[in-house]
């Protein structure tokens, strides 16, 4: 089955700095790679996703890159703000089944 590794497990940055979270996956058949943000006491919420036929996608301060050959994808958050503090999950999906990484706790210090 699919195996997703996510690093780092915790990340602390100063407000205004950039944050990068990286994931690798094992199943080359995976074709959909979402990123979720989970705030305390809430369910995960999709913030950005990318399909296997695209190498990069950007939405305001967040961007995701995908390297299919190396089987890794990354989340980039620029100009971080305190409200970006949360747990972030990557996932690799095939036919609607998602395997999640173990999460990254991002803390943005004012």
Partner 1 sequence: DTAVSQTPKYLVTQMGNDKSIKCEQNLGHDTMYWYKQDSKKFLKIMFSYNNKELIINETVPNRFSPKSPDKAHLNLHINSLELGDSAVYFCASSHVYGGSYEQYFGPGTRLTVT
Query: With contacts defined by CB under 8 A, how many residues of the chain interact with partner 1?
Result: 23
**Spatial CB neighbours of 38, under 8 Å, sequence gap ≥ 6:** 44, 45, 86, 87, 88, 89, 103
Q: Which of 54, 81, 102, 109: binder of partner 1 (CB under 8 A)? A: 102
Retrieve residue 37's tokens: 């943000």
- In Å, how far are 2, 22, 67 from 94, measured between CA atoms? 9, 19, 16
Q: Does 40 bind partner 1 (CB under 8 A)?
A: no
Shortest separation between residue 44's beta carbon and partner 1, angstroms: 5
Q: Does 98 bind partner 1 (CB under 8 A)?
A: yes
Q: Which of 21, 50, 66, 89: binder of partner 1 (CB under 8 A)? A: 89
Q: Does 42 bind partner 1 (CB under 8 A)?
A: yes
Residues that bind partner 1 (CB under 8 A): 32, 34, 36, 38, 41-46, 49, 87, 89, 93, 95-100, 102-103, 105
């Amino acid at each position: 089955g699919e195996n997703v590794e996510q690093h780092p497990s915790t990340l602390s940055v100063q407000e205004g700095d950039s944050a990068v979270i990286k994931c690798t996956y094992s199943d080359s058949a995976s074709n959909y790679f979402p990123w979720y943000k989970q705030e305390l006491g809430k369910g995960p919420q999709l913030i950005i996703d990318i399909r296997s036929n695209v190498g990069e996608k950007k939405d305001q301060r967040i961007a995701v890159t995908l390297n299919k050959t190396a089987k890794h994808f990354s989340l980039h958050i620029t100009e971080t703000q305190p409200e970006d503090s949360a747990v972030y999950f990557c996932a690799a999906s095939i036919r609607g089944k998602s395997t999640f990484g173990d999460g990254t706790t991002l803390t943005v210090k004012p």
